Amino acid sequence: VIRSTVTGCGSFLPEKILTNDDLSKMVDTSDEWIVQRTGIQQRHVAAEGQMTSDLALEAAKRALESAGRDAQEIDTIILATATPDNTFPATAVTVQANLGIYHGAAFDVHAVCSGFVYALTTADAYIRAGLSKRCLVIGAETFSRILDWTDRTTCVLFGDGAGAVLVEASEGEGTTADRGVLTSHLRSDGRHKEKLFVDGGPSSTGTVGHLRMEGREVYKHAVGMITDVIEDAYKATGTTSEDLDWFIPHQANKRIIDASAKKLGIAPEKVVTTVQHHGNTSAASIPLALDTAVRDGRVKKNDLVMLEAMGGGFTWGSVLLRW
C-alpha cells in the first residue's frame, strides 16, 4: 500500500518575544494569572511587515534541509492558516514562488487551530490517490494581527509562528508497523461557530476583524470533543493509548492539554508540551511542538505518534502516524 511518510520537519518563531510582564503593561493582567490558567510564559510576535508567508518560508526551508531535499523536488504545497497574507491569493503560492518552485500545485487549507491536522490529512489523501509524491505541509499564523490588544481575555493566549513537514510517498505492508500516516479522522460542527470566531471578513464586513471567544465554552468542548477522533484512530488501527510513544496535541493551553491526556489515559511523560514558549499559534502549534520533540531526540524513527487538534468552527481531528 502507498503510505505518506514524514521525511523532515522544521519550525520558525519570529524574533520578538512578548512576555507576560510585557502584557501586564498593556492590559489588566499578571504573569501569575496567565501562567496559572494557561501555562503560557511568553509568545513570539511578527515584526512589522513580517507576514505569515515569511514565517512559513523559513519553516519550509528548515523542513527541506532536515529531509535533505531540494525545493525543486516538491510537487505540492498545502498551507494551513487562518491569517493569510491577503484574502487571496493563497499564502501557499507566495511560499511556492519564494522557494523558486514554478511547477506543481499550492493551496491553503483553513480549519483554524485544526488546520495542520486537516492539511496533513489532505496531503496523505493526495499521496495515496497518486496526485502527489512529495508534499510540503505547513502551518503558519500571525494571530497578533487579528487580536484585540485591549481584550485581556483573548490577547494573552495567542502568538505567531510556523512549522512544516515534508511528506513523501512510500511503500508499506498495510500494517501498523509501516512508517507514515496510519489513519486520520476529521470532524467539524458549525453550530458552534460563534464560540470562537473573527468578527470581520471580506464578505461580511469588508474588514479583517478581531478574534472573539467564549473561553469557558471552548475549554469545555476542547476537552470533551477530541475523545471521539482519538478513539476512532484506535479502532481503525487496533491500537490503544498504551501503544503510543508520543501524544502531540494542539498547543492551546496547558490545562486543556493536561486534562485531555488524563481523560485519554495517556501518561504525562508521553505528552509534548511547548505552549509555555509560544502560546497558541493555531495551525502552527502541532508542527512547532513536533519539530521541538524531533530535534531534542524525544521522537525517534518508528515511534508511534498521535497528533490531535481542536479549534474554531468547531473543527477537530486526529492523525496517527509512525515516525
Considering only 53, 184, 280, 292, the residue that binds ligand ACO (CB under 6 A) is 280
Can residue 156 be called a binding residue for ligand ACO (CB under 6 A)? yes
Can residue 152 be called a binding residue for ligand ACO (CB under 6 A)? yes
Burial of 130 (0-12, 13-18, 19+ CB in 10 A): exposed
- Residue 135 among the catalytic residues: no
Residue 138 near residue 30 (C-beta atoms within 8 A)? no
Q: For the CA atoms of 47, 145, 251, 286, what is the dihedral angle to 10 degrees?
A: -70
Residue span binding ligand ACO (CB under 6 A) among the ranges 40-48, 83-91, 118-126, 246-254: 246-254
Can residue 37 be called a binding residue for ligand ACO (CB under 6 A)? yes
Strand partners, 309: 317
Alpha-carbon span 274 to 278, nearest angstrom: 7
Residue span binding ligand ACO (CB under 6 A) among the ranges 4-12, 28-36, 39-47, 168-176: 28-36
Q: Is the dihedral of CA 195, 199, 202, 203 positive or negative?
A: positive
- Residue 273: which of 297, 291, 305, 248 has the closest Cα? 248
194 to 213: interface string for ligand ACO, x by CB under 6 A? --x----------------x
- Residue 278 among the catalytic residues: no
- Residue 250 among the catalytic residues: yes
| Helical residues (DSSP H) of 99-214, grouped into ranges | 115-128, 152-155
Nearer of residues 153 and 175 to ligand ACO, judged by Cβ = 153
Active-site residue identified among 9, 20, 44, 113: 113
Residue 75 DSSP label:
-
Active-site residue identified among 185, 210, 221, 250: 250
Can residue 218 be called a binding residue for ligand ACO (CB under 6 A)? yes
Q: Residues 283 to 312: which contact ligand ACO by CB under 6 A? A: 310-311
Residue 115 dihedral angles phi and psi, to the nearest 5°: -55, -40
Active site residues: 113, 250, 280
**Site residues (vs ligand ACO, CB under 6 A):** 29, 33-34, 37-38, 113, 152-153, 156-157, 196, 213, 215-216, 218-219, 222, 250, 252-253, 255-256, 280, 310-311
